[in-house]
Amino acid sequence: MSYALANNKSAGKSKDRSKEQAPESIQAPTNRAPVLSDSIMVSNNERMASRLSAFVKSKQTHGIAVGTLSLCAGILLWHLATLYNFNFFINFENIPSPLKVADAFIDHLAKPVFYTHIFVSIRRILIAYGMAVLLGVLIGLAVGRSRLARAAVLPYIEVVRPIPAVAWIPLAILMWPTEESSIIYITFLGALFPIILNTIHGVEQTPEVMIRAALSLGANKLQVFWHVVLPAALPSIATGLAIGMGVSWFSLLAGEIISGQYGIGYFTWDAYSLINYPDIVVGMLVIGGLGTLSTYLIKVITRPALRWKELQR
């Protein structure tokens, strides 16, 4: 039985695949009890093979393969461009090669201060993003549902939204008591607007007929909001949360120009002022990697709330 369990688990990723296999794996041990270990070996091998071929054939795998190849090709081109000092309009003469960057990265992995940089940045993101989610969703819901809130808040959103994070640096330093709070403020602003705008959009998309249905089932305004408007807006809010996470990393880098000590953005700027080119690229790639990872996490976290959407035909 434990064998069947393990097998199901390993097939777990795709639902229908595990369904297909369930009866087989239960039968196998009972049918060929005397040569149990043998039969497991055989069926496991067969299964591995069929799974492998299914894996290779699946569209998702195809996409991953192409993506990986494309990335490798990009790194190869970068390597060749630095190797032959490519210089035609774009100049690669002073650009560190991928190998040098990898060396620098591995060096940093051994230094505790590198982790401090990353930790400090992640903490800033968590605080700023958390506040942006809370405020952004609340403001978005209010603006989406109330004409008064819309008239009062929308002009601010329109005017403040196009201002880039870097432009906020002087004012942020003047306004906030500590460097830390200035950086968090700038990061917060970056995440705030995509979340507000997508929440508004989601609320506005709520089908009128569903609101009417809820009303005639006995819902009051608050219940309509809770049972209809909020869930209807969730897919759009989730999009806003993912975009907001990306933009917050973007703004964090601008904010960390202020900082004199830690943060992955500071690390990158510091490398620039020390003319340490490989470290600049290390910093850039770490930001890119963390941004991608955190956006992916947001998508994974919000997915259960959107399950009903995937089932629609």
User: Of 214, 237, 247, 287, which lies in the binding site for another protein, with binding defined by CB under 8 A?
Assistant: 214
The alpha carbons of the chain give a radius of gyration, in whole angstroms, of 26
Q: Which stretch binds another protein (CB under 8 A): 7-15, 72-80, 217-225, 276-284?
A: 217-225
The residue among 76 and 213 lying less far from another protein, judged by its C-beta, is 213
Per the CB < 8 A criterion, the answer to whether 29 and 43 are in contact is no
The residue among 196 and 228 lying less far from another protein, judged by its C-beta, is 228
Residue 135 tokens read as 């405020």
Residues 259 to 288 in contact with another protein, rule: CB under 8 A:
none
Per the CB < 8 A criterion, the answer to whether 288 and 265 are in contact is no
The residue among 231 and 246 lying less far from another protein, judged by its C-beta, is 231
Residues 221 to 260 in contact with another protein, rule: CB under 8 A:
223, 227-228, 231-232, 234
Nearest approach, Cβ of 270 to another protein (angstroms)? 48
Q: Provide the CB-side half-sphere exposure for 127 (13 A, CA).
A: 14
Residues 180 to 209 in contact with another protein, rule: CB under 8 A:
207, 209
Nearest approach, Cβ of 240 to another protein (angstroms)? 18
Residue 123 tokens read as 């903490």
Per the CB < 8 A criterion, the answer to whether 153 and 143 are in contact is yes
Nearest approach, Cβ of 202 to another protein (angstroms)? 13
Residue 233 tokens read as 């807006």
Please return the burial class of 221, using the count of CB atoms within 10 Å of its CB with bins 0-12, 13-18 and 19+: exposed
Q: CA separation (Å) from 19 to 2, 24, 42? A: 17, 10, 20
Report if residue 81 touches another protein, rule: CB under 8 A.
Answer: no
Nearest approach, Cβ of 211 to another protein (angstroms)? 9
The residue among 11 and 214 lying less far from another protein, judged by its C-beta, is 214
Helical segments of 110-220, H only = 112-145, 147-160, 169-175, 179-204, 208-216
Report if residue 74 touches another protein, rule: CB under 8 A.
Answer: no
Residue 259 DSSP one-character state: -
The residue among 100 and 227 lying less far from another protein, judged by its C-beta, is 227
Binding residues vs another protein (CB under 8 A): 207, 209-210, 212-219, 223, 227-228, 231-232, 234, 308-309, 311-313
